[in-house]
Structure 1
Amino acid sequence: MLNIVIAEDDYRVAGIHEEFLAKVKGVQVIGKSLNGKETLELVENHQVDLVLLDIYMPDVLGTDLIHNIKENNPKTGIIMITAATEKNMVERSILNGVFDYIIKPVNIERFVTAIEKFKKTRTALETKKEFDQSFLDKYFGYTAMKTTTEQKTPKGIDPITLEKVRNILNETSKGITAEEMGDKMGASRTTARRYLEYLISVDEGKAELEYGIVGRPERKYYLYGKTS
C-alpha cells in the first residue's frame, strides 16, 4: 500500500485529488497539508511514499520543499501538481528529481496514469535486483517516443529514412530537388519525392518552383525557416 500526502493549500482542490486517488487501487492518503510546515511534519512523522506537491504554498514555494522532503527520506517520490508554468519553476522541479509534473486544472486520466506509473516503478525498484534496457527505456520514455513516431508516419514512410531526409534538408538553405535528394539519400527520385511531399503534408516543409538556366522550372524543397 502506497502512503500518499496531498500538499495543497486549497482544501477543495485537495478533496478533488483525494477523490481521484480513490479510483486507484493500492494507495491511501495518510494526510493532507495546507502549507509547507504541515507538509514537512507529515513527512517527518510518517512513512510517506509519495507527496503530491503544489508550488504556491502560503509559507514557502513547493520547489523549496523538495530538498527537505528528500533529505528526510530519499525514497519519497514527488509529483508536482500546480498551476505554475514558468520556466524556472518547471526547470527547478525537474532538476531536483520530481517524478512527474502536472499542470492544473488536472485531467483525471493524466492524474491516474501518473499514480499508476509511480506504483509500477516503485514496485520494480523494490523487487528487482537488476534492470534490463527494456525497463529503463520504458521508464525514461524512449519506448513511448518510438511508438508515437511509428504511429505518426504512414505506410511507405520509414521514420529513420524520414529523419535522414530532414537532416539533408537542414544542411542546405538553397533548396533541393527530388533528384538531388535521391542522390544524397541513395534512393530513387520517386522515393525522395514521396518523403519530401510528406514533409509538406505535415507542415514541416514547402516547395517552390524555380527556373534554371534553360528556363525549365524546377521544384525545390525546403524545411520551413531554411529558404535562402
Structure 2
Amino acid sequence: MIRVLVVEDDPMLLELNRRFVDKIDGFSVEDVASNGEEAIKSLKNKKIDLVILDIYMPKMDGMEVFRKVRKQNKVIDFILVTAANDTDKIEEALKLGAVDYLVKPFEFERLNQSLLHYKARKKLLIKKPFVSQEEIDQLFMGEYKEKEEKELQKGLHKFTLNRVKGFLNENKEALLSSENISEKLAMSKVTIRRYLDYLESIGDIQKKIEYGTRGRPSYRYKYIDKNKKS
C-alpha cells in the first residue's frame, strides 16, 4: 500500500483530493495538511511514501516544504500542484526530483493517470532487480499503462470505471441493481449497465437473476472480493 499525504490549503479541494486518492486501489491517505508547517509535522510523525503537494500556501509554501525534505534526504516522492504555470518552479521541481507536476484546474482523470503511473513504476522497481531499456523508456517517457488500462474497452473511461468499481466495493455485502447504482452515482442507467457488463466480463462482479411477482427478471450485482479467503 502506498501511503499518501495530501497538502492543500483549500478545504474543499483538500477533501475532494483525499476522497479521490483513497478510492484508487493501492493507495491510502495517511494524513492531510492545510499548510506547509502542518505538512512538515506530518512527515516527521508519520510514514509517508508520496506527497501530493500544493505549492502556493500560507505560512510555508510547497516549494519550501519540498526543499526541506530533500535536504533531510528522506525517501519520499512528490507530485506538485499549482494554480500558476510557472516555468521556473517547474524546472526547480524537476531538479528536486518531483515525479509529476499538475496545473490547476486539472481533471481528476489526470491525477488518476499520475497515480497509476507512479504505482506502476514502484511495482516494477520493487519486483525486478534488473530492467530493460524498453521498460525504462516506458517509465520515463510516461507511456506505461497497467494491463487493465490496455484492455479497457473502447468508449469506457478509467475514472468512471473506478467510481463504479469503488461504489460496488464499498457495498460489497449487498446485491445491487443497476437502478440503485445509477441513482447513487448520478449516472444514466445505460452508462452504468455498460460498466457493469465490463466488470462482469473481467470477473470483478457477479450478476444474479431475480424474478419478480409477474415473472419479469431483474439483475442484481455484487462485488467479488478477490482478497477474501474462501
Normalising by structure 2, report the TM-score: 0.59
CA distance in 2, matches of 1:107, 1:69: 28
Taking a change above 3 Å as real, the CA distance of residues 72 and 124 of structure 1, as seen in their structure-2 partners, is: farther
Instruction: Provide the residue aligned with 1:109 in structure 2.
Output: 109
Q: Secondary structure at the match of 1:22?
A: helix
CA distance in 1, matches of 2:104, 2:93: 16
Letter in structure 1 aligned against 2:127 = T
The question of whether the paired residues in 1 share the 8 Å contact of 2:55 and 2:80 is answered with: yes
CA distance in 1, matches of 2:47, 2:53: 16
Letter in structure 1 aligned against 2:101 = Y
Instruction: Provide the residue aligned with 2:59 in structure 1.
Output: 59
CA distance in 2, matches of 1:125, 1:69: 22
Letter in structure 1 aligned against 2:29 = V
Matched, 1:122 2:122: yes
Letter in structure 2 aligned against 1:67 = R
Instruction: Provide the residue aligned with 2:22 in structure 1.
Output: 22
1:143 Cα offset (Å):
5.3
CA distance in 1, matches of 2:42, 2:109: 27
CA distance in 2, matches of 1:141, 1:60: 32
The question of whether the paired residues in 2 share the 8 Å contact of 1:43 and 1:72 is answered with: no
The question of whether the paired residues in 1 share the 8 Å contact of 2:70 and 2:96 is answered with: no
Instruction: Provide the residue aligned with 2:89 in structure 1.
Output: 89
CA distance in 2, matches of 1:142, 1:10: 29
CA distance in 2, matches of 1:128, 1:69: 27
Q: Which has the larger radius of gyration?
A: 1
CA distance in 2, matches of 1:71, 1:127: 28
Taking a change above 3 Å as real, the CA distance of residues 142 and 105 of structure 1, as seen in their structure-2 partners, is: closer
- What percent identity do the matched residue pairs reach? 28
Instruction: Provide the residue aligned with 1:5 in structure 2.
Output: 5
1:73 Cα offset (Å):
5.3
1:125 Cα offset (Å):
2.1
Instruction: Provide the residue aligned with 2:98 in structure 1.
Output: 98
CA distance in 2, matches of 1:55, 1:142: 23
1:81 Cα offset (Å):
1.5
Instruction: Provide the residue aligned with 1:31 in structure 2.
Output: 31
Letter in structure 2 aligned against 1:127 = K
Number of equivalenced pairs: 144
Letter in structure 1 aligned against 2:134 = S
CA distance in 1, matches of 2:73, 2:7: 16
1:2 Cα offset (Å):
0.8
Structure 1, unaligned stretches of length 5 or more?
A: 145-228
Render the CA deviation track for 1:87-145: whole Å, top value 9, x for unaligned.
2111111111100001111201111010111111112222221121011100111758x
Matched, 1:46 2:10: no
Letter in structure 2 aligned against 1:31 = D
CA RMSD of aligned residues (A): 1.7
CA distance in 2, matches of 1:109, 1:137: 23
Q: Secondary structure at the match of 1:63?
A: helix
Normalising by structure 1, report the TM-score: 0.59
The question of whether the paired residues in 2 share the 8 Å contact of 1:20 and 1:111 is answered with: no
1:32 Cα offset (Å):
0.6
